[in-house]
Homo-oligomer: A and B are copies of this chain.
Amino acid sequence: MSKIKVAVLGATGMIGQRFVQMLEGHPWFEIEGLYASEKSEGKRLREVLKVRDFEFSDGTLDAQVRAMDVKHISDSARIAFSGLPSDLAGPTETSLAGGGVAVFTNAGSHRMDPCVPIVIPEVNPSQMEAARDQPTYGDGGYIVTNANCSSTGIAVPLHALHKSYGLEQVFVSTYQALSGAGYPGVPSLDAVGNVIPFIDHEEEKMEVELAKILGSYSKAGFEYADFKVMANCARVPVVDGHLESLTIEMRDSPSLDELAKTLSGFRGEAHSLSLPSAPAQPVIVRTEDNRPQPAFDVMAGSPARARGMASTVGRLREGNGYYKMFVLSHNTLRGGAGGSVLNAELAKAKGML
């Protein structure tokens, strides 16, 4: 079976390069070209590497891709994976979808458009159907987005809890990694030995995206889940891995043991469809008293293709009528490029490619 040709847009950025990592040796997809702005044209990928552990996988990386030249204008590819900055992403992705390309994007530009779903295969695979209602779908073109990086990692455990116990209120504070701001992103003079309690529009995104993701889609449009999210977002001097503290009010009152079992036992459609990049266990529960930590748990997930795709939950506690926990996920894999690759795998499994 020949592989589906895919283009990576924004290949010189943090997310673009994570797309390349996720796609190397992929069983269904094959990189047709790397694309970025005019000023990067002709540069080789290995000259513009920004992802620290990209080089670390020397043994397995496809030297051909590493030596691939970055191009400015996309040729014909069936799929475009987009790591474009927001200002470019909007019009470029619309235009590509209009030209019959299936766009799987990390950009937020279209997340609130009609018929554009924010998909997390473990959570809301049925929302993928929204894409079929996009006007360009008949010609093969459509747009599917992955969620904001700070929403994605907690969406999976929150979905497992919502299904079982009914979420009422979620109080979340984030400890977000520097890579979430892209490159060059946060100046080092602001980052070293400091915390920045502000990420532009992040809290607003979290408060609305989570309800959309955990909601449902029908011809009548998206129906949002009915719980409240109160978010406080901050940037910490960590390279990769968003840690988030959650204090949760639920309709039901499971014991902490039940809660842990519900989380670690959760499996979604991504799993039953055997999507290549789906983690065998989407939510890992740690029982040590000081985990999850970015330094130790950011790459959680197996098999090899799904490293960095699991959410790790720890420090389950309860009191005053609330449940508390910390959740960690990889913001540019699970919460970025990996999320969109998994979405494309879901689309393939559903016959949309």
B173, B191, B192, B299: the one within 8 Å of A58 (CB): B299
Q: What is the distance, in angstroms, from A299's C-beta to the closest C-beta of chain B?
A: 4
A314 CB-CB contact with B under 8 Å: yes
What band does the interface of chain A fall in when counting residues whose beta carbon is under 8 Å from B? 35 or more
Q: What is the distance, in angstroms, from A153's C-beta to the closest C-beta of chain B?
A: 14
Assembly CA distance A257 to B293 (angstroms) = 38
Contact A292 B197 (CB under 8 A): yes
Stretch at the interface among A142-150, A158-166, A264-272, A301-309: A301-309
A3 CB-CB contact with B under 8 Å: no
Please list the residues of chain A having a beta carbon within 8 angstroms of any beta carbon in chain B: 14, 47, 49-50, 52-53, 55-56, 58-60, 171, 173, 175, 178-179, 183-198, 203, 207, 228-230, 232, 234, 236-239, 243, 245-247, 288-304, 307, 314-315, 317, 319-320, 322, 324, 326
With a cutoff of 8 Å between Cβ atoms, the chain B residues found around residue A190 in the complex are 188, 293, 295
Contact B234 A326 (CB under 8 A): yes
Q: What is the distance, in angstroms, from A192's C-beta to the closest C-beta of chain B?
A: 5
With a cutoff of 8 Å between Cβ atoms, the chain B residues found around residue A173 in the complex are 173, 232, 245
Q: What is the distance, in angstroms, from A336's C-beta to the closest C-beta of chain B?
A: 14
Closest to A323 in B: B230
Assembly CA distance A291 to B46 (angstroms) = 13
Q: What is the distance, in angstroms, from A316's C-beta to the closest C-beta of chain B?
A: 12
